[in-house]
Amino acid sequence: MNWLNTNYILRAGILSVLVLFPGLISATCKTDTIIQSYQTDSLRFIIKDDSIIAFRTGDSIFTIIKADSILPFTPKRVKHTHYDKRVHRFRKNWERIIPTHSKIQYAGNMGLLSFGTGWDYGKHNQWETDILLGFIPRYSSRKAKITMTLKQNYMPWSIHIGKGFSTEPFACGLYMNTVFGNQFWTSEPERYPKGYYGFSSKIRFHLFMGQRLTYDIDPQRRFLAKSVTFFYEISTCDLYVISAVTNSYLSPRDYLSLSFGLKFQWL
């Protein structure tokens, strides 16, 4: 039988492969159908039954071999309600009152040592407002005393020195402080003749000027603070100024005070 002839079967098999081979090739991916490789979030496309997308293991890049429609990715806009906006404003306003730094200061007519916190603001954080509590030892009086100071600082320039250091060559400002205790008064007590003192023993207004040196801590080594600033100030108060003007024999040492401090920048 011719159908059982080996040569005939071999020829028929070769002929069948040659006939089917173009069909097999057309079922695989042709290189000219590959469009481009994309990140997973770069496109938005519509997948249909004949879409082919190729991924590589461990890679976020994929290749679109065949897709019905491809559109540029556009983030979906989230519509905020009035409630969402009100909550956002509420949180933002509360975030503003979080203190950005703390200070410790020695002397300055606000106590032997003063501790407090404050806020930086302005385009270059050139403004600071501080609230400090001070401690005055008992010395020759009956008991120690506590003071409170509201301080406003202004640093117009900040100069980068290098190796993490910067300086504010000029700092100035004013502060008001008070001392707690019944023996201090804002209005002259009746036990004194009217106008005997003519000033308040409880509240003092001060002016100061000084300089600062700041070290920015390496971000890899920060634990609590992002920078530490050393500063010194020369200050005087309203009562000292009046005394200096009316008493020419006073020297600067009698009406000027030297103070030192550290500032720890938390935020």
Tens of pLDDT along 118-149? 999 999 999 999 999 999 999 888 899 999 99
Position 22 confidence tier, pLDDT thresholds 50, 70, 90: very low
Q: What was the pLDDT predicted at 254?
A: 92
The answer to whether the Cα torsion of 102, 214, 109, 177 is positive or negative is: negative
Average pLDDT, rounded, for the chain: 82
Q: What was the pLDDT predicted at 200?
A: 87
Amino acid at 178: T
Tens of pLDDT along 204-232? 999 999 999 999 999 888 888 999 999 99
CB of 43 closer than 8 Å to CB of 74: no
pLDDT at 25 over 60: no
Tens of pLDDT along 142-198? 899 999 999 999 999 999 999 999 999 999 999 999 999 888 888 887 777 777 777
pLDDT at 262 over 60: yes
Distance of CA 118 to the CA centre of its chain: 14
The CA angle 157-149-135, to the nearest 5 degrees, is 120
Q: What was the pLDDT predicted at 11?
A: 67
